[in-house]
């Protein structure tokens, strides 16, 4: 068996590594008779995607279906320059700066088993389903919910009721799925640090399957109620070939909440 | 830090970062409060967002404290080789990990070692510390 170690970028701190792991695709690769296996995110001994081009559906539409792990931003700190598009910066209005400073970890909606929103990710995989009129993203975790993206050409409603995942319409630009979402409530946090938003939030997600096993995800976040200018995050996802979604009902036995102390911060403390 | 073999880093991460999940581990656990417990498993909760097991630990005076020890979620454990009965009531085990900041009998289990030497970790089944 040939064994090689793929690049796992490690900086000197635990927190930096923690930030990487949720989006980390492949930490170790083993190549044997049955194809490549290795670690994807938190998961060991997984089948790794084969090399090859991004597939297409019979009508030529890019095929994004499958179980994926990864996200479009740094879930520990969305403002970390390492997960921002070059030239982008997160510049909060004064009220938002004050809110971030005052937030506590135990107030994090995700810690309360509420949705992570967009584009915050989790260590759990998700699946994209494509139908002619609707695309769905099925989330294993956070919170075992789903998003629906209307692909039938409809417009956003003029006065949408605010919701956790908003109202999403999608279209294709070449091989990139562009998802435009408005109608968010103001409840979810962009990250463990508690970066906020208002109901004015407008996101544009760009999903590009760059090859068989990988997808790039860019998300432009425009919320003039919270940030002085739009910014764009960059992330990626890795296909988990053969994987199936499992159940994750966060509300079942959430014993952690009363034990969370102190200011909102990432898993490793940053 | 000198870059280490990626898999070793993964395991090290598993041992120091108990909750890459739905809440901040740094807010819940004292990374410096290491625990090293031996006792008998009294209950296993195969639940989300974390599996838990409970361990009766006897101190030097004979007093028994029932610890609540946290693991990853069942979906993570299953993909990493755990089964729901990998750990059962009645098992005698040694557990290393870290303690919660706000509960003296609550911890995050890094490594569970059985008398025959086989190990389970917060994330994975198998002798994965080596």
Alpha-carbon distance B18 to nearest alpha carbon in chain A (angstroms): 9
List C-alpha distances in Å: A82 to A165, A195, B26, B52: 25, 16, 21, 35
Residue A209 lies in a domain: yes
Q: Which residue has the tokens 């019979």?
A: A58
Summarize pLDDT for A90-124 with one digit per residue, the tens.
Answer: 999 999 999 999 999 999 999 999 999 999 999 99
Report the distance separating Cα A266 and Cα A191, nearest Å: 8
Alpha-carbon distance A221 to nearest alpha carbon in chain B (angstroms): 23
Residue A10 lies in a domain: no
Residue A39 lies in a domain: no
Report the distance separating Cα B20 and Cα B73, nearest Å: 10
The count of other CB atoms within 10 Å of the CB of residue A73 is: 29
CB A264 within 8 A of CB B24: yes
Both tokens of A249, joined, read 């009902």
CATH number at residue A110: 2.40.128.20
Statement: residue A156 has pLDDT above 50:
yes
pLDDT of amino acid A242? 95
Q: What 3-state DSSP class applies to B74?
A: helix
pLDDT of amino acid A266? 84
Statement: residue A152 has pLDDT above 60:
yes
Cβ-defined contact of A14 to B106 (cutoff 8 Å): no
In a mutagenesis test of the B interface, which of A11, A256, A261 is the best target, namely the one with the most B β-carbons within 10 Å?
A: A256
Summarize pLDDT for B2-15 with one digit per residue, the tens.
Answer: 333 443 444 434 43
**How many Å from the N-terminal Cα to the C-terminal Cα in chain B?**
19
Q: What residue numbers bound the domain in which A231 lies? A: 53-259
Summarize pLDDT for A212-261 with one digit per residue, the tens.
Answer: 999 999 999 999 999 999 999 999 999 999 999 999 999 999 999 999 99
Cβ-defined contact of B9 to A46 (cutoff 8 Å): no
Q: Identify the burial level of B129 via C-beta atoms within 10 angstroms of its C-beta, where 0-12 means exposed, 13-18 middle and 19 or more buried.
A: middle
Residues of chain B with pLDDT under 50: 1-19, 129-130
Q: Which domains does chain B have, with CATH numbers?
A: 6-121 (2.40.50.140)
List C-alpha distances in Å: A212 to A50, A124, A128, A178, B126: 7, 20, 14, 19, 31
Residue A147 lies in a domain: yes
Phi first, then psi, for residue A263 (nearest 5°) are -65, 155
pLDDT of amino acid B24? 86
Report the distance separating Cα A156 and Cα A202, nearest Å: 11
pLDDT of amino acid B128? 53
ipTM of the complex, rounded to two decimals: 0.86
The count of other CB atoms within 10 Å of the CB of residue A82 is: 12
In a mutagenesis test of the A interface, which of B32, B43, B49 is the best target, namely the one with the most A β-carbons within 10 Å?
A: B49
């Amino acid at each position: 068996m040939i064994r090689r170690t793929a690049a796992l970028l490690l900086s000197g701190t635990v927190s930096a590594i923690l930030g990487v792991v949720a989006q980390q695709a492949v930490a170790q690769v083993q190549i044997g008779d049955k194809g490549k296996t290795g670690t994807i995110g938190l998961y060991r001994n997984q089948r790794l995607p084969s090399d090859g081009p991004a597939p297409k559906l019979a009508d030529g539409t890019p095929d994004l279906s499958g179980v994926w792990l990864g996200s479009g931003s740094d879930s520990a700190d969305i403002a970390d320059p390492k997960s921002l598009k070059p030239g982008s910066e997160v510049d909060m209005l004064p009220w938002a700066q004050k809110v971030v400073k005052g937030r506590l970890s135990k107030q994090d909606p995700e810690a309360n088993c509420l949705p992570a929103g967009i584009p915050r990710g989790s260590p759990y995989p998700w699946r994209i389903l494509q139908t002619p009129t609707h695309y769905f993203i099925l989330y294993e975790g956070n919170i075992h919910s789903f998003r629906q993206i209307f692909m039938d050409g409809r417009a956003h409603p003029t006065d949408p009721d605010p919701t956790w995942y908003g109202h999403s319409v999608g279209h294709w630009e070449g091989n990139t799925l562009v998802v435009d979402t408005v109608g968010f409530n103001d409840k979810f946090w962009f990250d463990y640090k508690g970066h906020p938003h208002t109901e004015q939030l407008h996101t544009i997600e760009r999903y590009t399957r760059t090859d068989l096993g990988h997808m790039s995800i860019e998300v432009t976040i425009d919320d003039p109620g919270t940030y002085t200018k739009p910014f764009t995050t960059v992330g990626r996802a890795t296909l988990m070939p053969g994987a199936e979604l499992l159940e994750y009902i966060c509300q079942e036995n959430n014993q952690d909440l009363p034990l969370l102390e102190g200011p909102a911060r990432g898993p490793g403390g940053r | 830090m000198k870059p280490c073999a990626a898999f070793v880093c993964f395991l090290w991460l598993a041992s120091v970062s108990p909750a890459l999940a739905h809440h901040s581990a740094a807010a819940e656990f004292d990374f410096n409060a290491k625990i090293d417990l031996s006792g008998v498993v009294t209950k296993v909760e195969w639940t989300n967002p974390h599996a838990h097991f409970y361990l009766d630990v006897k101190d030097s005076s004979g007093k028994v404290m029932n610890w609540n020890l946290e693991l990853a979620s069942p979906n993570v454990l299953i993909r990493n080789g755990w089964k729901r009965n990998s750990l059962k009531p009645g098992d005698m085990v040694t557990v290393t990990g870290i303690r919660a900041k706000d509960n003296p009998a609550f911890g995050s289990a890094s490594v569970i070692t059985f008398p025959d030497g086989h190990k389970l970790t917060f994330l994975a089944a198998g002798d994965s510390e080596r």
